Structure 1
């Protein structure tokens, strides 16, 4: 299985502060992985299906790349099975 090429990811490293929360709108089973910042909302599109936590893991990895942090420092607080998810950055 090959990884999809990620390009044009927004630089969200300025938002990576301790205890920062990120409210995301997620679209699973998208055509490609991407992140879009619209005004005050972050939209994440992942190719992973929403089963067995695959989409949540993909979102966590993608958000970590945008923030420039390790995926293990992001914790899913709300939205395990919802499209609106809240992640907390805890270095």
Structure 2
């Protein structure tokens, strides 16, 4: 009969291990980026957003409004900084607005 180990692990540590072992990190980053975008940009910008996708270190944001696209293009560096701070790691180095 197998001997029971008396080591305790936090749920957070166990979830990190499961995500890493099953190679789910990329998908989790996609979800985190979408959540961070919605939180930081607010309902106004989110309502004009068609799609958000993380390809490598590039965030691709598809927008419905050319006016909004132009307005956001002036603050790309600030958006990158805010997104990376919200995500807790440097996942984004470039933003493409289309």
TM-score, normalised on structure 2? 0.30
The structure with more radius of gyration? 2
More helix by share: 2
TM-score, normalised on structure 1? 0.32
